[in-house]
Structure formats: C-alpha cells, structure tokens
A and B are shown apart, each in its own frame.
Chain A
C-alpha cells in the first residue's frame, strides 16, 4: 500500500509540471497584461512595475525563476493586490471555501446515497422514479438559478434563513451549502442507484439471501460496499472541485472564498494568481484522486494485488 501511494505521488510530479508549464505559457500568450488597463500608465511607471515583478526578463528566465519559487512553496506576489502574496490570498479564501465545500459534500453524500439506495431497492416503481426524476431536475438546475430560488423562498418569502453572508448570522451557511451540494447529490444518487442495481443482481447477493440474512444486512453488509465503488471514484475529483470554491455560489451569497479570487485573477491577467490557483487546483485533484483510489482499494480487496485478482 505504501509503495502504491509513493508511486502515485511520484507520478503526480510530471503531471503537475506539465500543468504548470502549459498554463504559464498560455497565460502569457493571452493579449493584455496585468498592468495594461483602461487608464494609460506612464511608460516609466510601467517599466518600473515590470522590473519590480521581473516581467522584463526573458520569458524562459521568468519561467525558471517561477519554478524555483514554487519549489520553495512560494506562489509569488499578486500583481493586482499590491503588497499581498498569492499564498496570503489563498490562505484568506481557503477557510470559507473549504468549509462550504465540506458541508456541500456531506449534504451531497447523505442525500445522494440515500436516494440512490431507496431507488435501487425497488427498481421501476414509484420508489425509484420519484427520487430519480428529482435527481434529474437537480442535475439540470444550475446553481445560479437554484441559489436565487432558495433565497427567494427561504430567505424572502418564508424569512427562515439569512439571504447572504458567511459566519455572520446563525444559519447563513445553510442555503449556500444546499445550493452547492444539490448538483453533486443528484449525480451521486444516480451513480449509487446504478452501482447498487448492478451489485444486487450478483450471485453473491442471492447467496446472502439464501443464508437467511435480514434484508437490511444483505443491503448494508453485502451490497453497499460494491455498490458505492462508482460513487467513491466520482468523489475524488468532486471534492477537489468543491474545496476550491465556486464563483457562482460565492458571488450569490457574498462569501469570501477562493472561487471569486480565481475568476477575478483571470480577468485581471494576474499572472501569479492564475498560476497559483491552477497549481492549487491541480494539487487538490491529484491528492483527492489518490485518496479516492486508496478508499477503493480499501473497499475492494481484489485491487490490493491487481495481477492476481479474480473475477
């Protein structure tokens, strides 16, 4: 297991390197720059700024100096927020985004897995159709529509919950978490239904029933593990996406998270901030994919020794 983890982490190095290189040069190729603004900046000021941020050096030299900084864990200074480093900006935005992502994920897993299970127990009946069509609506409904809808109903009409903010008024974290989690819940519901249906048709489920086990035990002990493998595979990238924040949800609910920094960085040509966010997101993806793979291996003993695996 240690070997597996180590080799996966080593594989991540070239992946990250490719991501960094491609982003670095793509961003530089885009027209405009961090200091080209509507307001004309005097040429000598521009030169001074470029010298300060080492933008006057040849591109390849900039690239290697950036890599050197990265190796030391330094994302560099932000070009648009003077005096603040990208590290500081990420540190500032991460807590809110991570907390929101975590809540959204919990909601997604609990609702999604339960709905999938309920649907899989009686396929092609109302018990299946109702949660699954709800899930379909959940997938189709974008968060920029669902968010305002929830605000309208629970915040304005019913006046049960605050309409925006993060950590200021009790209950203001509920609506954004639901908005963000619902799409994921819908996906997870569909994945777990499919996984469970597949597993429930296996011969070993019949064996479990033939042993006289209560249906609850058959489902939880014998079917759930195998049925949730597709969900686990999906959760890795999903969790990385949730943690790095959502521009839409953060904007609707006025949450000081990462998502907004990232999108603004792109508009601003804030080179280091763009690079920082891309590297950060790539890291999250790598780490959470690894974690979900490790969970899959933990669930399925056949994966522990791939070459000798049976059917």
Chain B
C-alpha cells in the first residue's frame, strides 16, 4: 500500500464570479522513500491540490467537493481538525516557495525551528535546541549555534530556505510536500538545495511531493511525475518514460518550450562596425553601506561601500543581443540601469553612439531617451493599472512627438500587430490580460518610439515556460525586424543561451567572462562560469 493515496480529489473555489474548479478529479499515489513530481503552469492547481490535503486551503472560498486522501490508511479529508493538526508538521511537513515571506520576521529562526518538537513531541526546550542546532548543521548552515538566535532578515534567501527545510524535517515526518522550494533561488543555490533534499530523503526514507513549474528540476529529483493542467491530470508516469516519450500533446508542448540549444542565425547577421553602439569602460557604481555606523570597527569602515559594479568594461555592437548573466546581487540590473542613466555612476565612462553620456543631466538625456528603452521583469508592476493599452502605447508616441492625434490610433494598432496582440483588446486594462500578454504590452511600449537600444531586465522570469518561449521568439523577431540592439539581463542561463549572440558573466560586480555564447557554453574559461553551467538542472532523460 502506498503511503499516500489520493483518489478523485476535487477542490472548488466559490467566488463571486462563479465556481472555479481548481482541482478537478485528481488521483495519485506516493510511495514511502519515493519522490512524486507535480509539474504544471501557474493556475494548474498543483499547489491547491497539496494544500487541501492538510486543510491549508482557506475555506471559504475553497471547498473540498469530493475525493479521498488516504495517508497510511487514514482519510485526511475526513479526519477531525484536531487530528489533522497532529499530522501537520509531525507526519506531513511542507516546504513553501518563498523563504522570504514564509518565516515569521518577529521570531528567531531557532524559536520557529523547535516549535514542531515543542508542540508535537513535548520535547524539553534544551533538548529541542540541541536537536535543532544539529539539524541546522546538517542542512549546511555554518555556525548553527549562533544562527539559532538570528532573525530571518539576517539570513540570505538560500539560508532561509535551508531553515525552512530543517523546519520541515525536524519532527522527522514521513511525507514532505515541497512547493517550488527553489524557484526563488539562484541556480547554484538551487543545485545545493536540491541535492540536500535528495540526500536527506535517502537518509531518512521519507516520501516527497515536489511541486514545480520547472520540468528540468523535476526531472532531476522525481521518480514519478504528474503533469497537471487546469486542475486535471494530463499525464502521469515514471520520470524517464514520461520525459523521453510523452504521450500527451500538452506534455510535449511543455518539454518543447524549455529554451534549449543556442541561437542559430546570429553570426552572419552581425557585420562589425568601427564603433560599437554602447561602450562602457571601467564603470564603478558604489552605494554607501548605511549599516556601518559611527561606532563600527575600523575594518568595516574601510569598506563602507557596497560595490554594485566594480570596474566593468564592455562593448555592445550594433544589432547584437548581449546576454548578461549573474546571480542575485551580481550587479546585472545596476549595470543596465547605469547605462540608461537610471543608476548613479561613481567612476568610469559610458559612451553611447560616440557620445559620452556618463552622468548626463536629465534634460540633456531626454533626446536620447527615445532611442534607448527598457523592458522590466514584472509586466504587471510596470504597467499603469489605470491606463488602457491604447493609452499606454499612445503615450510614448505622443510624448516624443512621433504621432499626432489623428495618426496615433493607426500607429497603436500597428504596434499591437507587431507584438502579437489582438486588435480588439485596445480598450482593455492591464489586469484583464495574462502575464504573457502584459509582457507583450510592455514590449510594445518599449519599441513604440522606434529605439535602437533596449535593456531587457529579466523580461521572461515571471512567465510560465510555454509563454516564456513565445515571448523569447517575439523578442528575436522584433530585434531582427527593427534592427534593434539589446542588452538582455537574466539569471536563467538557458534563456540567455537561446537568445544572446554574446554573453557577459557578472559575479560580485565584476566581469568574470565574456565571449560568444556558443564558445562560452562549449568551453567556459572562468571557474565561476563552469560552476554556473554545471548547476543548471537539465532534462536528463531527453535527447537534445
């Protein structure tokens, strides 16, 4: 008998706008010591499915309509609240996605860590502390004795996720539900965390449900995979079988959407010109570190600046896409912003089209603004929610005098065609669009002024994998059609490889490697680049 047997689970949300069938007849089994991967795009019901097993779906509006979930023979959906509480954190633990918001900021991590022991096992505090410190050590937190008394905000994202993992493991549960445990993390840290979960699983023989939108990650950790779409199971099977020989069209589409392989048509299109469009030399952007006060030790004072960018030099040729990769805090966003004059420059020079634009005043910058644009990561936050798509797209045209009242409508429609938006949407507001469509609007706004140069800062990171592929192709298409030059910033190496002609690897504000994308991938020179490339999860079972 399997440890967990879920049969015909139905969870519906009763909202003002009708019933949303978040989970609609899902069945699966999880064996002890095995990992079940659940993949699907956002809104596919994968998280709701698992939360409802533990009674963590807010009711109302949620309601479990039907089904059974036998955990070791006991139906989780029908047992009392009291019994469910005994199981939570004790027999079944959860690792949530965002370690930034899932730890209580008001309590030390130690306090939060020992809670399952205090309330389920009635362990004495002192003993619980010893166990917790040992476990912190096991999940790879240095100086666990000291960290025990730290608050969450004093730890980095990766460290917090380790704490979350330790918290899930501390009561030695038999089933762990991991909900996108590495999505918020950098690729090298992701690799460490995945290895950690796997090691611990083998050591303790626990069953794991691993929820992720990232097929490559799932293919690395799971034994068995469930593909979900719109609350239903599309396909399930052994991981090797499912990824190498998917029987359903949706699964094939998901797999095909993973950016894979290098950009092909690049070299012949790029004719070298004497002057690059953008040339940056010895750029430094230092921010003052405000945590260093009057009474800090002298050693700390000597480095009172955070060196976001430290001696960065680069050239961007006309009509090329330069990929900039690096982990969070590597300075990649600051670099993009500094080139556009949106971040301060401490030292160094930025030449744009033969003109020195370093620390140019806002007024002097204005005529250049039309020629350089930016696309942001979060298309929802960067679009004004009170402006229709017509207003959003018309604004840059009118501000820069590229259209008048009579021609603007036709130009906006042409732009919408360009970025693949249906013309009838012209009067809609941002919230009426999906994430991918919103990013199309944001791209449309960026190319409205016919710029030469675009900085795209993680433009596809917030999108599902199938949508991501469409947007990447749209960007490639637009770059070719409008002769754009682009700086494409991303933490996702697969995406950069797919889209960029050349790549620049940033690490702690410094360039560690630069070169043609293909060459860097084939033979990385710097140690750090090799680490990054090795850390990428791959669809191990699929032939390239």
Contact = CB atoms under 8 A, between A and B. Distances in A.
Interface of A: 3, 202-204, 206-214, 217, 221-222, 225-226, 299-302, 305-311
Nearest to A201: B58
B120 interface: yes
A300 B101 contact: no
Contacts of B543: none
B153 A210 contact: no
9 contacts: A206-B96, A207-B164, A209-B56, A210-B94, A213-B115, A213-B119, A222-B106, A306-B290, A308-B153
Interface in B54-113: 54, 56, 85-90, 93-94, 96, 98, 100-108, 112
B153 A212 contact: no
A308 B120 contact: no
B167 A211 contact: yes
A203 B119 contact: no
B105 A300 contact: yes
A225 B106 contact: yes
Closest 8 CB pairs of A and B: A310-B153, A212-B88, A307-B290, A211-B89, A212-B89, A203-B101, A301-B151, A204-B104
Contact of B87 (A202, A212, A302): A212
Interface string B431-475: 000000000000000000000000000000000000000000000
Nearest to B54: A210
Contact of B116 (A203, A211, A306): A211
Contacts of B106: 222, 225-226, 299-301
B85 A214 contact: yes
Nearest to B91: A212
Contact of A212 (B90, B107, B290, B291): B90
Nearest to B177: A210
A307 B290 CA distance: 6
Is chain A's interface secondary structure helix, strand, loop, or mixed overall?
helix
A217 B103 contact: no
Contacts of B100: 310-311
B153 A206 contact: no
Contacts of B167: 207, 211
A127 B203 CA distance: 48
Interface string B489-530: 000000000000000000000000000000000000000000
Given A204-B104, A310-B100, A213 B89 contact: yes
> Among the interface residues B87, B103, B104, B294, which one has the most CB atoms of the partner chain A within 10 A?
B104
Contacts of A206: 56, 96, 102
Contacts of B104: 204, 207-208, 222
Nearest to B154: A308
Contacts of B87: 212
A302 B105 contact: yes
Contacts of A307: 289-291
A214 B152 CA distance: 23
B95 to A, nearest CB: 9
A301 B152 CA distance: 9
A310 B93 CA distance: 25
A212 B119 contact: yes
Contacts of A213: 85, 89, 115, 119
B152 to A, nearest CB: 7
A206 B119 CA distance: 16
B115 A211 contact: yes
A207 B100 CA distance: 12
Contact of A203 (B98, B115, B153): B98
